[in-house]
């Protein structure tokens, strides 16, 4: 592995979203807040399953993380808060962007020190560089994840590529999907339909939509999580982003679906994705998603890309134990890549 140059990228390198994107972000944020506030009413109105619809397991309101506090912070929808959205995304990545280190013992809602760049090391962790190089080797340029330097993104230029822990993590997923033939599958479809269960702060959606701008991309997630991905995707790119309900007509671009509407979703899809979060759900939620995705992928002979760790040691579940009853075919992505986020499988009919 040859690295020619490494250079710190300070926070001051971040750019401000144009006005039309900020306006879109505020609109999306208000709709997401409504989806949170109306959840209990919708559960009663439509006779929804509360055990599926409400946050549970690692996302329960009593879980030991500051996810809800971060949601409340972002839901203020003021620019002094939104400009640091990436510094508040630790619940999805386990990485603290304030101090560029593992998030254990840190809160993503900590105040931002005025001399934040002072805490950035001159060099990234060698393992991050090694992984980034391995995950991008031999990949076509369009499949390399290059995040916009906005909203508190911090890291390093390694040669000419921007790299940090989170960038390497999401590039791992792009590399695994490439190795598993996912993108070859999408290339056969003129306007692919994709659904991601649990979109985090929106990084994977950004990477895939950059490669497939004609796609119809759905993120189905707890509405609190949609605040992160909805705001992020509204501010960093110009694709349409809107909060929708299962019965609404979909549009090309990004459709944000509150999870409690998932059982009503009638679209068919070419690809479904879940990375890491299924093993942070209850077994009932995993099985509800498994049954639903099997139905949604059948008509278009779609595939389900899934990468999850075994979280049983943490008192949670291992989603791979519960998916075979819904998908008769399981193909593990066979790769020599230095993966660190669990086994990746392709499930299909």
289/314: higher pLDDT: 289
Burial class (CB in 10 A: 0-12, 13-18, 19+), 59: buried
| pTM attached to this predicted model | 0.96
% of the chain beyond a pLDDT of 70: 98
All structural domains of the chain with their residue ranges: 1-349
Q: How confident is the model at residue 98 (pLDDT cuts 50, 70, 90)?
A: confident
The residue among 173 and 266 whose pLDDT is bigger is 173
Evaluate whether 243 touches 221 at the Cβ level (below 8 Å): no
| Tokens linked to 309 | 């760790």
Give the three-state DSSP class for 222: coil
- Per-residue pLDDT band for 13 (boundaries 50, 70, 90) equals confident
CATH class (in words) of the domain with range 1-349: alpha beta
User: According to the 3-state scheme, what is the secondary structure of 35-102?
Assistant: HHHCHHHHHHHHCCCHHHHCCCHHHCCCCCCCHHHHHHHHCCCCHHHHCCHHHHCHHHHCEECCCCEE
Share of the chain above pLDDT 90, in %: 84
* Mean pLDDT across 83-110: 92
| pLDDT score of 146 | 97
Question: 71-85, 215-229, 238-252: which range is least confident on average?
Answer: 238-252
- How far apart CA 249 and CA 196 sit, in angstroms, is 18
Average pLDDT over residues 10-27: 94
Q: What is the pLDDT of residue 3?
A: 66
pLDDT, residue 252, reads: 87
Over the stretch 181-239, which tens digit does the pLDDT of each residue have? 999 999 999 999 999 999 999 999 999 999 999 999 999 999 999 999 999 999 999 99
pLDDT of residue 251: 78
Tens digit of pLDDT for each residue in 115-142? Answer: 888 888 888 889 999 999 999 999 999 9
Give the model's confidence band at 161: pLDDT under 50 very low, under 70 low, under 90 confident, else very high.
very high
The mean pLDDT of 335-348, rounded to a whole number, is 94
Whether 1 shows a pLDDT value over 60: the answer reads: no
- Token duo for residue 54: 């409400």
pLDDT surpasses 80 at 333: yes
Residues 305 and 184 sit within 8 Å (Cβ to Cβ):
no
Q: What pLDDT is attached to residue 256?
A: 97
Round the average pLDDT of the chain to a whole number and report it. 94
Burial of 80 (0-12, 13-18, 19+ CB in 10 A): exposed
Q: How far apart are the first and last CA of the chain?
A: 40
pLDDT of residue 2: 61
pLDDT of residue 64: 78
Rounded Cα distance between 229 and 324, Å, is: 29
DSSP codes, 287-311: HHHHHHHHHHHHTTT-EEEEEE---
């Amino acid at each position: 592995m040859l690295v020619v140059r490494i250079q710190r990228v300070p926070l001051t390198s971040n750019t401000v979203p144009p006005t039309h994107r900020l306006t879109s972000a505020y609109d999306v944020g208000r709709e997401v807040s409504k989806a949170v506030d109306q959840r209990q009413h919708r559960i009663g109105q439509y006779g929804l399953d509360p055990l599926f619809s409400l946050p549970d397991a690692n996302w329960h309101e009593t879980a030991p993380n500051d996810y809800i506090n971060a949601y409340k912070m972002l839901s203020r929808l003021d620019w002094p808060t939104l400009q640091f959205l990436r510094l508040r995304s630790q619940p999805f990545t386990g990485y603290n962007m304030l101090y560029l280190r593992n998030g254990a013992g840190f809160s993503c809602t900590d105040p931002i020190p005025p001399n934040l760049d002072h805490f950035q090391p001159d060099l990234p962790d060698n393992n991050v560089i090694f992984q980034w190089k391995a995950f991008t080797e031999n990949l076509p340029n369009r499949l390399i994840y290059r995040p916009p330097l906005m909203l508190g993104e911090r890291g390093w230029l390694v040669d000419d590529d921007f790299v940090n822990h989170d960038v390497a993590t999401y590039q791992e997923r792009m590399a695994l999907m490439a190795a598993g033939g996912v993108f070859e599958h999408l290339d056969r479809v003129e306007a692919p339909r994709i659904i991601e269960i649990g979109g985090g702060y929106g990084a994977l959606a950004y990477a895939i939509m950059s490669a497939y701008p004609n796609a119809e991309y759905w993120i189905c997630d707890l509405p609190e999580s949609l605040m992160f991905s909805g705001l992020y995707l509204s501010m960093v790119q110009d694709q349409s982003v809107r909060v929708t309900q299962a019965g609404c007509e979909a549009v090309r671009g990004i459709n944000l679906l509150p999870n409690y509407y998932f059982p009503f979703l009638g679209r068919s899809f070419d690809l479904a994705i879940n990375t890491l979060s299924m093993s942070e759900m209850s077994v009932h939620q995993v099985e509800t998603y498994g049954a639903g995705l099997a139905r949604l992928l059948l008509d278009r002979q779609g595939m389900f890309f899934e990468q999850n760790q075994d979280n049983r040691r943490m008192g949670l579940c291992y989603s791979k134990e519960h998916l075979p009853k819904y998908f008769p075919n399981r193909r593990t992505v066979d790769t020599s890549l230095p993966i660190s986020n669990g086994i990746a499988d392709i499930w299909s009919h």
